[in-house]
Structure formats: structure tokens, C-alpha cells
Amino acid sequence: MTNIALEKIVPSEILAYNELFAKTEGIHLLTIGAPDFDVPDFIKEAGKKAIDDGFNGYSSSKGMPVLIDAFVHFLKRRYDLSYDTSHIIVTTGESQGLAAVLQALISPGDAVIIPTPAFPQYELCTLINHGEVVTVDTSHTQFILTPEALRQAKINHPNAKVVILNYPSNPTGVTYSPEDLKTFAKTADELDLIVISDEIYSELVYDQKHDSIARYLPHRTILLNGASKTYAMTGWRIGFIACPPDLFTPIFKAHQSSTPVGSQFAHIAAATAFNDGDAVIAMMKQAYQERRDFIVKELSNMGFDVASPDGAFYVFPRIPQHLNMDDKTFARELAVHGKVGVIPGSVFGKGGENYIRISYATSMDILKESMERIRLFITNKQNTQ
């Protein structure tokens, strides 16, 4: 017999929609959260050199020291965070870090508070450890989990041990201001909650500077980040866990149960990225920002209500009510008749119902054509109503 928790879990719906829509000929897929940029040359060169120099084996279990050093300096330089190298673990992409952290924290029956809409992996990793998922719909509070809502969730679920924040967010692009983070930290502390802070999009924040809750709640925050989005290094599988000293050992044990070692040459290349990559980040960020500005304007003109997307490379518009379509029907019909693939918002939980996620990690030409196609699709729908 298999793990009973699997009965509550469905395979990734994002990937399923992507595969389904890819079958439509001539479709523009705005479905997947992967940068369209290639890995910058100086990072590739560092990887090639490491291979030629013979760094082709297993890394140490915590990760190559050169990468841990680079990451500690990066956190200090970019976010004024002070971590000791002994409290960092390099993981096989941030996804493995998330899995290890929830495995380390959750005993059967413990609850995890997840503001929705959210990256579906949070629910999956909670359920597989026999944890209880407590979702909070944030669609009425600009996709921000307010301290009041957090408090209410803890009152209703005293077994809640952990809350997961992701900012800027996949799927909404919304982020938390320093003020939001300060009050949230205070409340989480009072409620005796551990915060898992998923900051994988931290370098893609457009109108403000990214701040981390780890600055206000260092003893209770487990910070997750990685190289996938920042340096377009999705395939190199580099992630990090930065944890409070007392949580290091349990998390390290959980890390060792799944993917206990990494790849030496990938770690060396990622060290180069985190040390010397500030300029390439700026270049990619500017391109994403131009695309964001363009599609927010286009979608607003078409009658979509779009929550202010401060970062990442997603927008999360609400489907105009007069079209009378739920998000799954809208996405399916848009794919077939409009030839644009988007992800239905409800895939990200209750807070995403009646929205769609559009990824703008694709070229401006494709985005321009996609906006025209969506406009035409909506006009045709209105005319046939």
C-alpha cells in the first residue's frame, strides 16, 4: 500500500494544462514560470571551466563552501541580512529545500497556514507529511495575508505551527512592503508560528526594493531562495535554505533524506552568478518590467481588473464578470478559440477562483500578439452573448 496522503494529492495541474494547451496548433503559451532568457555567458563559462577542471563529482552535503560564501555575501549586499555560513544548506533547486523544510517541521496533525492563491507545491509538501492545510483566501485584501487574518487562522486552528509567505508572489506578482513585513513578523512571533519565506523572485521586484521578513523575525524565519529565476538557471537546480541556528540540524537531517548532495560544477557556476551577477539581473529586470507595464495596460483597457503586480513575471487578472465564465472554462476556451494558453487561477487555491495567471517570461512580440488574440477572443464572446 502507498502513502495514504497521496489520495489527497493531484499531479501538477499547471503542467497538465500546459501539456493540454500545447496540443493546440499555433498557440502562444503564457503558462510556465521559466525565464525566457538564456543563462548569461559568464556563468556558462564558469560551469564549463569547472567541468574541465574536474569538478564533476558530488558536492559536500551542505553544498560547496564557495557557493555558501557567495550566497551569504549576496544576502548581506542585497538585503542587509546577516547569516553565518554554518546555517546555510544548498539544495537541488528551491523545491527540494521546501520539501526538506516541511518534512523537518511537520508532524502528523500539525497545520500549515497557506495564503491563497499560492504555489501548489506548498499544499503538496504539507499533505505528504500528513500535515493539515489551512488556506486563507487573500483575494479581498489585495492578495496580502493580513495580521488579522493570520490571527484568525491560528484561533481557528490552534495546531497551526507554520505559515508560508511567498513574495513577490507566484501567481499574483504582489509583494509585501517593509511595513507589512514588520507587523506580520510581530503577529507571527506572538502566535508562536514559524515563517517559511519563499523569496525565489526577490531579485524581480520593480517599483520598490525587496525586503525580507528575516530582518524582522530572524529567529523564526526560514528563508528559501535560489538561482532559477534570478539568473535564468532553472536547469542547474540550485536552491538555498537559510535557517535560524536551532532549526539547522533538523532541517539538515531532512535534507539528507532526499537529495543529500549536489553537483560540484553547478555549485561553482552558481557561486560566480551570486558574486558577479548584479549587472545581468538589472538587464533582465528591465526587460520584465517593460513587459509587465505593457500587459497590465493592455489587460486593463480590455476590462480586466489586475492586482498591482510588483514583481516576479506573472500577472493575475480577474476575468470580467459580464463574460459569465469561470476560470477553467475561460482558460480552455481561450486556448482553443483564442490560441493563447494561460493557467486558470483556481489551480492556485480558492483565492484564485475567477482569475487567470499569465506568465510574461516570453518575448515582447509574442506578448503583443497574445494581447491582440485575447482582445479578439473577448470581443467575439461579447458578440455571441
Closest residue to ligand PMP using C-beta atoms: 93
Give the Cα separation of 150 and 161 in Å (integer): 12
CB 134 within 8 A of CB 114: yes
Q: Is the Cβ of residue 238 or residue 335 nearer to ligand PMP in the bound state?
A: 238
Angle between helices 93-105 and 121-128 (to 10 degrees): 40
Q: Is the Cβ of residue 227 or residue 378 nearer to ligand PMP in the bound state?
A: 227
Q: Which residues of 114-135 are buried (b: 16+ CB within 10 A; e: fewer)?
A: bbbbbbbbbbbbbbbbebbbbb
Minimum gap (Å) between residue 122 Cβ and ligand PMP: 8
Alpha helices in 318-361 (DSSP H): 327-333
Minimum gap (Å) between residue 224 Cβ and ligand PMP: 7
Nearest to 317 by CA among 286, 288, 280, 358: 358
Q: Is the Cβ of residue 35 or residue 338 nearer to ligand PMP in the bound state?
A: 35
Q: Is the Cβ of residue 224 or residue 299 nearer to ligand PMP in the bound state?
A: 224
Q: Is the Cβ of residue 193 or residue 343 nearer to ligand PMP in the bound state?
A: 343
Give the Cα separation of 247 and 103 in Å (integer): 12
CB 356 within 8 A of CB 316: yes
Q: Is the Cβ of residue 17 or residue 119 nearer to ligand PMP in the bound state?
A: 119
Please give the residue ranges that form the binding site for ligand PMP (CB under 6 A). Answer: 33, 93-95, 119, 166, 170, 198, 200, 226, 228, 234, 239
Nearest to 228 by CA among 92, 59, 88: 92
Minimum gap (Å) between residue 226 Cβ and ligand PMP: 4
Q: Is the Cβ of residue 95 or residue 135 nearer to ligand PMP in the bound state?
A: 95
Minimum gap (Å) between residue 312 Cβ and ligand PMP: 8
Minimum gap (Å) between residue 92 Cβ and ligand PMP: 8
Phi, psi of 357 (to 5 degrees): -105, 130
Q: Is the Cβ of residue 101 or residue 371 nearer to ligand PMP in the bound state?
A: 101
Minimum gap (Å) between residue 228 Cβ and ligand PMP: 3
Alpha helices in the chain (DSSP H): 13-22, 41-52, 65-79, 93-105, 121-128, 147-156, 178-190, 245-258, 264-276, 278-301, 327-333, 364-383
CB 313 within 8 A of CB 33: yes
Burial of 56 by CB count in 10 Å (0-12 exposed, 13-18 middle, 19+ buried)?
exposed
Minimum gap (Å) between residue 236 Cβ and ligand PMP: 9
Minimum gap (Å) between residue 320 Cβ and ligand PMP: 27
